[in-house]
Structure 1
Amino acid sequence: MHLRTLPDAHLDAFSERINYAFRPTEGPNWDRDEEDHPDLFTPFGFYETPPEATPEASDLTAVCGTYDFTVRVRGEWHRMPGLAAVASPPETRRRGIVARMLDSLLERHRENDVALSTLWPFEYPFYRRFGWATANNYARLTVPPEQLSAVAADPAGSFRRLSADEDLDAIRAVHESWATESLAVKRTEGWWRDAVFGGEEPDSFVYGWEDDAGRLRGYVVYEFEEREDGDGRRLNVRELAAADEEAAAHLRRFCRDHDSQVEEVRFARLPEWARPIDAYPDPRAATLEIRPGPMVRIVDVASALTDVSYDAEESVTLDVRDDRCEWNDAAFRLDVTDGDATCRRIEDGGDADCEVEIGALSQLLVGARTVEEVVRAGDASAGGEAARTLERLFPRERTFLREQF
């Protein structure tokens, strides 16, 4: 079987498989939305057709797609494609086809000098088997609107609805000053227009707060939705971004002032490390849920460990275990000197300083877990000076991938 970039003639077949996998209640009579995917998206098909032959849509055994993200890792920008739309029709399931497709995709990434990958899983154990590991958890906070009074500013400045055509530069500047954590995505214009503003048929509102000088210093993306219990409506805040705390307080005031329309305000995705419940005078009036977030994977150990930045000059030998990618399932020597890193595969890993699973190494690389945590979980073995060396090379970071895809 062979992984190919999906030809335009097979987009209907691609959508049919996606709809069956993720929206089966809509039935077989579906209409493909031409605006389904922002400009970063590339669909792939896994075909039984040999590479020298022209594939037919009927040969399409499974599908997937990737978003060509650029993501901040340890203070610098790196390509980290986002895997999505993994699906197979019922007639090809339980044959290991999706596994082979994922292996082929990782090989393709490596051939294209892509060293990292991310995804939102439909099932965490499934993707753990293929080497991905959780990058961050996220918090979901639900509060009655009146609770926001304690964290809202007194009226000042002004609010106005924003548009992608007129306000993109200003809103992008706010986002870049706000989303500074590891795994923040450098959003393209197409991603802003389609994923944030909603394209030609938006399903959410985007409002901004300007100070008295007319400078945009924050924005909020939200929609109205019915509560699960059927008792009233909710203001669902998808993103609240502010250049500083003053702007954030005014945006919380904006959300509070919807108290005549909604019974609760939900902040759908917040960093777990932000401790979002602490500022409220009555924390019991709020509901705080912690949920697992996206996953990350090193595609190529030698390239990934060479490319990232380090704040320490160290050397360490790693015996990496990777059941899916034979080029990673080996021992590697990492040397960092004068700010430059070199990671190379070595023949003998018998005297390695550390043994580590590929998922755990991926988490260490992006800063999602500490050395102590991965050792305690049994995903790595390192002690004494070797553990301290790894801690200096891979300190914990505030990781948070905000994008939903």
Structure 2
Amino acid sequence: MTLDVRFVTESDIPAFRRAVVRAFGADDKDDPKLQARWDASFKPELCIGAFDDDRLVGTFSSFDLELNVPGGSAPMAGTTIVSVMPTHRRRGLLSRMMHVHLRQAIDRRQPIAGLWATEHGIYRRFGYGVANTVREVGFDTRKASVPGPEAGVSLRTVEADEGAAVARSIFNDALAGRPGTYDRPDWWWTHRVELDHPEFRDGKSEHRWVVAEADGERVGYVLYRVKLHWDSAGPNGKLDVIEVLATTDAAERALWHYISHVDLFPNVFCWNLPEDSVLPWIIDNPRQLTYAMWDGLWVRILDVAAALQSRTYMHDGSIVIQVADDYLPEVSGVFAVEITGGSAAVERSDQTPDILLDVAELGSIYLGGVRAGQLRRAARLQGAVEAVAELERLFGWSVPSWTQEIF
């Protein structure tokens, strides 16, 4: 028995796909739409396999994404479809695949890697830190709803082709300035957003689209599914919000008014509400909102200088940080950060550091969504109170970090 980790070849792809599909609890179906989705999503040159002799026992891949960071963007390796068969756990295969992946990202000049974790305890040891959170929210429209309608905004239910066209046209404007989001290339829209395959519905309806318009312009949309249910008291269906985005505040309010007034579906659920959503402030009984919170995007810094110089800063100042990286020691070092006019100059330094932190914690504060003082109180970074306050001031951002979907 020989265990090997390498990039897959074209001939490996069928076995690679079967391993991924089964690892994530689905069946490998002979379906042309699902095959097209796979072909568009995963390129052999980015797919890594773990092999026991010639048998594939582990999978790993990534997407080339352009991550929105405070005031700019940076190339990101989007780590995805990571799996190891139960028969081959605890043999170092995940660590070996991760090493190949991160080395490739460095070689391709991607200063950041990012992922959504299937399990919380896996990825910090590889240098990933939680950079934002998911806020699941639900409410019963029989107990709470959003007043309206909104003056100056009209809503239309539309078919999927028009809804998708509107979403494509306003998506970037709706997310402008939002750290943690990323652009969707054309293939992503076609195969990962618009593909309304029964495999993804979980017993719910086809996609439902509603478009918001004002002064002849398209200014927002909501994409959702419904599932009808009746009990002895009457209709008790569920409405699942997939995505609600708008380019104006009035459109956002109007769309939430619509969501809270769909007959037969009083149980509203939104899996990923931004921290600064207007919903808690416009619903007429916010105590009826139920919340759950969990980790969202994890960020892994691969090139400290390039990553810090890719973003913008709200305040000028200087600080010296010492970054520890046990997994990729060459990333470690002491860095002098000088911010002038919102731009950072970052150089390796022999100065005494103001802050000591692990590369995972640098990933956490990078998008401005996690406060340095909070990490200090959790013993996740070290520094004098004044130095930590300065780090928090420099790395903070006016718009909370949020990531729109799992990849």
Q: TM-score, normalised by structure 1?
A: 0.85
C-alpha displacement of 1:389: 3.5
Work out whether residues 64 and 87 of structure 1, in 8 Å CA contact, stay in contact via their aligned partners in 2: yes
Partner of 1:114: 110
Matches of 1:117 and 1:35 in 2, distance apart?
26
2:168 corresponds to which letter in structure 1? R
Identify the match of residue 271 of structure 1 among 270, 274, 299.
Answer: 274
Shift of 1:117: 1.4
What is the CA-CA distance between 1:254 and the residue it aligns to? 3.0
Residue 191 of structure 2: aligned partner: 194
1:306 CA drift (Å): 2.9
Q: Equivalent of 1:252, from 256, 275, 289? A: 256
Tell me: CA distance 1:256–1:373, structure 2 relative to 1, closer, same or farther (3 Å). closer
Note the alpha carbon deviations across 1:320-373, whole angstroms, 9 max, x for none: 111111112222222334555332334x46x22210111111122211212211
1:144-159 to 2 correspondences below 5 Å: 144-147=140-143, 149-153=145-149, 157-159=154-156
- Any conservation in 2 of the 1:131–1:322 contact (CA below 8 Å)? yes
Aligned position for 2:128: 132
Q: Which moved more, 1:251-260 or 1:181-190?
A: 251-260
Query: Following the alignment from structure 2 to structure 1, what is the Cα–Cα distance between the partners of residues 289 and 317?
Result: 46
Contact 2:164 2:194 (C-alpha < 8 Å) held by counterparts: no
Partners in 2 of 1:40 and 1:59 — Cα distance?
A: 23
Q: Contact 1:158/1:212 (CA < 8 Å) preserved in 2?
A: no
Name the counterpart of 1:233: 237
Question: Helix, strand or coil: the match of 2:35?
Answer: coil
Within the candidate set 295, 303, 306, 1:303 is matched to: 306
Partner of 1:103: 99
Q: Which letter does structure 2 place at the counterpart of 1:369?
A: V
| 1:53 corresponding residue in structure 2 | none
| Per-residue Cα deviation, 1:192-245 (whole angstroms, up to 9, x for no partner) | 222221267785424233436543221111112478x99943110111112223
* Separation (CA, whole Å) in 2 of partners of 1:339 and 1:137: 26
AA in 1 matched with 2:384 = G
Q: 1:117 to 1:206 in 2, by over 3 A?
A: farther
1:247-289 deviation digits (Å, cap 9, x = unpaired): 22332343234222x2411122101343743433333433222
Who is 1:395 aligned against?
396
* Distance in 1 (alpha carbons) for counterparts of 2:168 and 2:15: 36
CA distance in 2, matches of 1:238, 1:96: 37
C-alpha deviation, 1:111, in angstroms: 0.9
Kindly state the Cα deviation for residue 76 of structure 1 after the two structures are TM-superposed: 0.5
**Contact 2:67/2:182, CA 8 A, preserved across alignment:** yes
Structural mapping, 1:368-383, within 5 Å: 368-383=369-384
The structure-2 alpha-carbon separation of the partners of 1:113 and 1:233, relative to structure 1 and needing over 3 Å to count, comes to same
The answer for unaligned runs of 5 or more in structure 2 is none
Structure 2 equivalent of residue 353 of structure 1: 354
Alpha-carbon separation, structure 2, partners of 1:139 and 1:275: 13
**Secondary structure of 1:107 counterpart:** helix
Unaligned runs of 5+ in 1: 50-55
Equivalent residue number for residue 10 of structure 2: 8
Question: Hey, what does 1:52 align to over in structure 2?
Answer: none
Match of 2:209 in 1: 207
Which amino acid is 1:398 matched to?
P
Counterpart in the other structure of 1:160: 157
CA distance in 1 between partners of 2:228 and 2:112 (Å)? 38
Matched, 1:293 2:308: no
What is the match of residue 339 of structure 2?
A: 336
Do 2:314 and 2:396's aligned partners in 1 also have CA atoms closer than 8 Å? no
TM-score by length of 2: 0.84
Q: For the Cα contact (< 8 Å) 1:209–1:247, is it kept in 2?
A: no
Q: Answer yes or no: is the 8 Å Cα contact 2:156–2:211 preserved in 1.
A: yes
Contact in 1 for aligned 2:50/2:93 (Cα 8 Å):
no
Which residue identity does 2:374 align to in structure 1? E
1:22 paired with 2:19, answer no
- Give the drift of 1:2: 4.3
Deviation at 1:9, TM superposition (A): 2.2
Q: Deviations over 1:69-110 (max 9, x none)?
A: 112101112112221100122333210111111122111111
- Within a 5 Å distance, the mapping from 1:16-95 to structure 2 comes to 16-23=18-25, 26=27, 31=30, 33-37=34-38, 39=40, 41-42=42-43, 43-47=46-50, 58=54, 60-95=56-91
3-state SS in 1 of match to 2:331: coil
Against the structure 1 CA distance between its residues 154 and 147, is the aligned structure 2 distance closer, same or farther, given a 3 Å change threshold?
farther
Report SS of the residue matched to 1:362.
helix
Corresponding letter in the other structure for 1:294: L
Pair 1:7–1:162, CA change in 2 (3 A): farther
Q: Aligned to 1:18, what secondary structure does the other structure show?
A: helix
Q: Aligned-pair distance for 1:121? A: 0.5
Distance 2:56 2:389 in 1: 49
Amino acid across the alignment from 1:252: W
Q: Sort the Cα spacing of 1:279 and 1:147 in 2 relative to 1 into closer, same or farther, 3 A.
A: farther
